[in-house]
Structure 1
Amino acid sequence: MNKTLVYLYDPLCGWCYGAGGPLPQVLESTGIALRLIPTGLFSGSGARAMDDDFAAYAWSNDQRIERLTGQVFSERYRDQILADRLQGFDSAPSTLALSAVSLTSPEHEFEALKAIQAARYVDGLDVTRLETLTAVLEDLGLDAAAQRLTCPDSGLLQANDDRVGQGRALLRRVGGRGVPTFVLQQADSAMQLLPASAIFSDPQAFIRELNVGVNP
């Protein structure tokens, strides 16, 4: 099957975490390959400080995602992440960690993304710290990626910049609005933007949409 589901994401996007619930079922049901590309949406100019208003907005949004998908947003996350005014809302470190995985064990990037999200939203760990992210990767047995992340070299930094640039360019190309954005890539390089909302409201409809796209 010469078709791929391209997943444009940001590791600190609550909706991306929510998509991690139904997405494995989608992949298993369709047999389609997954390719992840970060967009850096909440890094650089998209990063921000955590304040009371933003924390309240995030928690309200998180509860909606939990109701739709069953993905857990714990009280520990609320107390140790959203209530911490010294911890910024910045996905750059997590994105760099996932680029390290992409370089060393690309087949484990989705697994690593889910582990980083669980570390934040369930365990209440600070994934803006490289030490936290290194430990997450080591727990997954991704030692090569953890080692690259401990002392990021120019190769890793350039690969990370390239991936984010590619993600942003593709988001513009397909007219995606934020993340998660899902794109069905055909063998002839044709790109089909998929309705991301369906993966939350009706995963079976999302599966049917993919099956239509993957039929010869």
Structure 2
Amino acid sequence: MRAYRAIAALVAWFGLLLQYWLMVRGQHGEAFATRTVNFLSYFTILSNLFAAVMFTAPAAYPTSPIGLHFAKPAIRTAVTLYMSVTATIYIVILEGLWDPRGLQWAADTTLHYVTPALVLLDWLLFTPKRTLRWVYVWPWLAFPLAYGAYSIWRGPHADFYPYPFLDVSKLGLERVVMNMTGMTCVFLVLGLIFIAIDRSVKSRS
């Protein structure tokens, strides 16, 4: 388990750092700061960042508050949920909208395929089971809802929308709210599925 998580951590950090470098290379001053904020405004990046910390913190700092926090099964399940939605939305909606090549393809594949798969395998194989309650799904929704609200708020100020289904300037607020409602339902249903799986299998410490 430790070796697996160490390798998974390296993979997750690799994808994040490569994508960051690709976004900010050649930029300076205000443009560099703007690109950095834009980088951190993607749900993909934030969910992958959670995954990287989840793999790293409990191993490197097991007794620290952050290490203990990310060792909790409920938190690890939440990260698995976010990464699963990241991969699903990319494959179903976003993948066909562009054609990354070279290093961008490597970063894209790591962030949307490899790291989500590593997170899901970690949850299936190593996360203790029969620890979740049905009510846990509600706090898990707080992050994606906050993210959607932030994206709508920042979009017109920065003239930047991270995903086409959140672009108020093109779709209008009503359509974007409907899209967010649909996404919330995806999080809710998938979260309930994870809880159902957790409650149906034998605990593994």
Question: Between Structure 1 and Structure 2, which shows a larger proportion of helix residues?
Answer: 2
User: TM-score of the superposition, structure 2-length normalised?
Assistant: 0.26
TM-score by length of 1: 0.25
* Larger strand percent: 1
